[in-house]
Amino acid sequence: MNYTLHTKSSDPFSLNDFRDWVIGYDKVFQKMLTLPTASTHSNYPPHNLIEDGEGQYTISMAVAGLDKDDIKITLAEQNLTIEYDGKSTQDQDRTILHQGIAHRSFKKIFHLAENIEVKDASMDKGLIIINLEQNIPEEKKPKLIELK
């Protein structure tokens, strides 16, 4: 699926004219247009995205019945991926009469901004907890420019 951005729309607030009011963000806007839509994402496993304060975030993901050794978490090119391969943990000698706890494979990808860092990850009471922090380098912080 390819998208093309066209400029010079009649709508003064159109994102199509982004080249007229931003500098250096072409890649960000192009990336936004190529990301999968929400309808293509699975709701399994359920998760929460929480803003804990300015620049502090937490991802909580419910993974009932899984061990921390079953989960693989990777960070590559600002894509945080949490996945489980779905290997069976069930006893083959037993018959399941009702299965309300899913043990299917999943792969969740969270696209992190350039200045978001993963501080730590843990698992507690069936929840994966990943703490994120916005870390703006000194050279990218606003500075006062004096007129001469």
CATH of domain 43-91+98-138: 2.60.40.790
The pLDDT, as a whole number, for residue 80 is: 93
Which tokens in the block code for residue 64?
A: 């009932």
**10-54 pLDDT tens trace:** 555 555 555 555 555 556 666 666 665 544 457 889 999 999 988
What does the alpha-carbon distance between residue 52 and residue 117 come to, in Å, rounded to a whole number? 15
Q: What are the extents of the domains in the chain?
A: 1-35, 43-91+98-138
Residue 8 sits at the vertex; the CA angle it makes with 7 and 14, to the nearest 5 degrees, is 75
